[in-house]
Amino acid sequence: MTKFDPATAIQRLDGQDATRGVNPSINDSATFCFPEAHLMTETFHGETEGFFLYSRHWNPTNLCLCKALAAMEGTEMAWVTGSGLAAITTALLHEVKTGDHILSSMTTYGGTFAFMKNWLTKFGVETSFVNFQDLDAVKKAIRPNTKVLYTETMNNPLLRIANIPELAKMAHANGAKLIVDNTFTPMIFSPCRLGADVTVYSMTKFVNGKNDCVAGAICGSAEYINSLIDVNNGTAMLLGPVLDPMRSSSILKNLHTLHIRMQQHGRNAMYLAQRFKEVGFKYNYPGLPEHVDYELTKSMMNEGYGFGGMISIDMGTAEKASRIMEIMQKKGVGYLAVSLGYFKTLFSNSGKSTSSEVPEEIQKEMGMSEGLIRFSVGLDNDIEATFQLIKESVDECGL
């Protein structure tokens, strides 16, 4: 595969609008007029370009963001949604009907797990959850009615890396699609270039980077995106989870600094991982050679963006983890909060928060410790000072 640079792909886009503004104008129209009646009919049926029908379908401002996201992912098109979970659920629903089967990674975001485990069953769609690190187990779990293989590039919260090329081969051999959530690792990985059919994002996290909105994205081929927004059968068009254009405009501006932010998030997380190793913390970070997926990560990643801003430490029990997080917040390490990709460090006990929808017995089967603290490492300028505060917090708990 040829070298791919997501940041340069975004940078090369011409963002001028008709007024020559360097930022595209915000178009907050819900509906659009046509100079001739036949153009409305043709647009309604997807037979013409350059015209807009209704903002649930396309909006000029959303289209600007979608073009930039498609450039970043190396896909033909993208479409943006009102939340990350809206992107995930829309992409999944578009592929299945009653009687179909989804094969999902056992380790996945709690909201996604709950949607597949609890909600889809009401409509006769079954999901099996498998350890996607065990490719033989994945292959054996695929059924004739399996329509989707679903995984996260870097899974939440154990930070294991999916072998996307091999999973894509398995999916396609069965006539299924591989859908990949790349929320943790934008720019670091380009799933569709590695063989995935669809890449989804919670743009709430790293892509936007400000924790001032919720938003999602779906990236794929032109045929796929057009099918999503088909006025008669498109899941996105008919469920209506579209993103507000005001938010699209602000996310597009933030997208242009994503590469700088990802590099700094990665540098800081790498520093903490090295220091955690020195002091003997039980840590997990895919950027160090001792991580089980280190070589796989290197084989798939785009160069120059680091190994990501997510890292975890295991404090043994939920009680110890809670006490340490409370001390860290008081000392100014960051915030005891869910979510990730913020300019300040965020930390949470995954088993009691973002993965709490996953039953405890499955958490144990996944290998998730009840004392796991997941860090989304911020853009700290003095990361050594941050490390010292973390160490002081752990020491105060007598660990």
Judged against a pLDDT cut of 50, whether residue 8 lies above it is answered with yes
Task: Spell 201-220 as b/e; 16+ CB within 10 A means b.
Answer: bbbbbbbbbebebbbbbbbb
pTM summary value:
0.95
Section 95-121 average pLDDT: 95
As a whole number of angstroms, the distance between CA 300 and CA 306 comes to 12
Question: How far, in Å, CA of 196 to CA of 166, rounded?
Answer: 10
Question: In this predicted model, what pLDDT tens digit does every residue of 276-309 receive, in sequence order?
Answer: 999 999 999 999 999 999 999 999 999 999 999 9
- Cα 195 to Cα 216: distance, rounded to the nearest angstrom: 21
Q: What is the pLDDT of residues 329-379, one digit of tens each?
A: 999 999 999 999 999 999 999 755 554 556 667 666 666 678 999 999 999
Residue closest to 347 by CA, chosen among 362, 332, 363, 364: 332
Q: What pLDDT is attached to residue 38?
A: 95
Q: pLDDT tens for residues 261-270?
A: 999 999 999 9
Q: Is the dihedral angle over the CA atoms 133, 317, 311, 374 positive or is it negative?
A: positive
Write the DSSP string, 271-328.
Answer: HHHHHHHHHT--EE-TTSTTSTTHHHHHHHPPTTS-S-SEEEEE-SSHHHHHHHHHHH
